[in-house]
């Protein structure tokens, strides 16, 4: 059984993501051809987004452009993540010390999602985009988060992942997943070499805090050979930065549960 998307909702978001990629005004034909939509459906969708104030239509140039209302939708998130707990500062510190791609990751149902990503200046990287989602059962951050769960919770995530036909042939067996989870529990981090592709590897650590009830993890990823060579130094940098993060939490006026109490 495949989990189905609501077409109108997914298309609306795909239009906004197209503007995020192109970063310029777009004509109707550019939008429906890029997204492979029927012209009539694209026309009606774009007109609706204009009427709701999320797109601007310029009749002189016949182009569409997102309005500031789009950016306002999530404008409160960065300040929420950076206040008191200093999550942005945590990501910045680890990125500076490792010189690799560093991400703050949250659980999102059966997936993990990259909330904040900081990339290095060098060319040796294949970083995802902020907002990208990956299956929990096949990612270092997902396994790191599951290392803090009871086995029945992990079993439920795994069964639903299989029920919806997610992951296909790449899905690990439950026994293999639990071996990785138990190893992560023992050593305090998750290391996945050559995943999600043979060229990449990642290391993740659970933060043991949540954001509005959402569990968080910190991940460092990059080209597999670079991550493998620097693994001890990366783990040391992550451990030190997380200790500093927790110390800042303890000193905040709200105390160590500031992130949880933010809701």
User: Could you count the other beta carbons within 10 Å of the beta carbon of residue 123?
Assistant: 5
- pLDDT, position 259: 54
DSSP string, 103-137: EEEEEETTEEEEEEEE--SSS------TT-EEEGG
- pLDDT, position 263: 33
- Global pTM? 0.78
**Which residue, 56, 72, 88, sits at the end of a domain?**
72
The rounded distance, in Å, linking the Cα atoms of 243 and 18 is 39
Q: Determine whether 210 is exposed, middle or buried from the number of CB atoms within 10 Å of its CB (0-12, 13-18, 19+).
A: middle
**Which residue, 17, 50, 72, sits at the end of a domain?**
72
Say if residues 221 and 202 touch (Cβ distance below 8 Å).
Answer: yes
Spell out the per-residue pLDDT of the chain, length 263, in tens. 455 556 788 899 999 999 999 999 999 999 999 999 999 999 999 999 999 999 999 989 999 999 989 888 877 776 666 554 588 899 999 999 999 999 999 999 999 999 899 999 999 998 888 888 999 999 999 999 999 999 999 999 999 999 989 988 888 999 999 999 999 999 999 999 987 788 999 999 999 888 878 899 999 999 999 999 999 999 999 999 999 998 887 776 554 454 544 33
> Do 170 and 96 share a structural domain?
yes
> Do 92 and 59 share a structural domain?
no
CA–CA distances in Å: residue 223 to residues 139, 148, 179: 15, 27, 24
Those residues with Cβ within 8 angstroms of residue 81's Cβ, 6 or more apart along the chain or in another chain = 87, 88, 104, 115, 116, 211
The rounded distance, in Å, linking the Cα atoms of 192 and 66 is 38
Give a yes or no: residue 250 inside a domain. Answer: yes
> Do 178 and 65 share a structural domain?
no
> Do 157 and 41 share a structural domain?
no
**How many domains are contained in the chain?**
2
> Do 235 and 255 share a structural domain?
yes
Give a yes or no: residue 257 inside a domain. Answer: yes
> Do 127 and 220 share a structural domain?
yes
Give a yes or no: residue 100 inside a domain. Answer: yes
> Do 256 and 151 share a structural domain?
yes
User: Could you count the other beta carbons within 10 Å of the beta carbon of residue 3?
Assistant: 12
- pLDDT, position 84: 44
> Do 85 and 53 share a structural domain?
no
> Do 136 and 51 share a structural domain?
no
> Do 85 and 12 share a structural domain?
no
> Do 63 and 99 share a structural domain?
no
> Do 247 and 119 share a structural domain?
yes
Whether the CA torsion 22, 23, 29, 32 is positive or negative: it is positive
- pLDDT, position 197: 84
Give the number of residues written for the chain. Answer: 263
**Which residue, 46, 72, 98, sits at the end of a domain?**
72
Max intra-chain CA distance, the chain: 64
Say if residues 196 and 111 touch (Cβ distance below 8 Å).
Answer: no
The CATH number of whichever domain residue 11 belongs to comes to 1.10.10.10
Give a yes or no: residue 1 inside a domain. Answer: no
Give a yes or no: residue 2 inside a domain. Answer: no
CA–CA distances in Å: residue 221 to residues 30, 94, 127, 148, 186: 34, 11, 8, 21, 21
Structural domain boundaries enclosing 62? 7-72
């Amino acid at each position: 059984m495949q989990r189905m998307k609501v077409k109108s909702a997914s298309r609306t978001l795909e239009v906004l993501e197209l503007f995020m990629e192109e970063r310029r005004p777009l004509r109707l034909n550019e939008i429906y051809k890029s997204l492979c939509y029927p012209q009539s459906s694209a026309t009606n969708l774009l007109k609706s987004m204009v009427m709701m104030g999320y797109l601007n239509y310029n009749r002189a140039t016949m182009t569409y452009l997102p309005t500031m209302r789009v950016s306002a939708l999530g404008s409160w998130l960065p300040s929420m993540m950076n206040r008191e707990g200093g999550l942005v500062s945590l990501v910045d510190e680890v990125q500076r010390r490792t010189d690799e791609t560093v991400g703050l990751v949250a659980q999102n149902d059966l997936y993990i999602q990259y909330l904040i990503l900081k990339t290095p200046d060098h060319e040796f990287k294949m970083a995802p985009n902020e907002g990208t989602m990956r299956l929990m059962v096949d990612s270092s951050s997902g396994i790191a988060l599951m290392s803090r769960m009871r086995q029945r919770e992990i079993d439920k995530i795994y069964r639903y992942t299989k029920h919806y036909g997610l992951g296909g042939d790449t899905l690990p067996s439950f026994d293999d997943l639990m071996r990785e989870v138990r190893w992560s529990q023992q050593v305090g981090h998750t290391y996945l070499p050559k995943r999600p592709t043979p060229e990449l590897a990642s290391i993740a650590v659970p933060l043991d805090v949540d954001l509005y009830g959402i569990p968080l993890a910190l991940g460092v990823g990059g080209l597999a050979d670079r991550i493998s060579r620097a693994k001890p130094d990366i783990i040391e940098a992550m451990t030190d930065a997380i200790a500093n993060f927790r110390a800042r939490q303890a000193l905040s006026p709200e105390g160590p549960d500031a992130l949880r109490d933010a809701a």
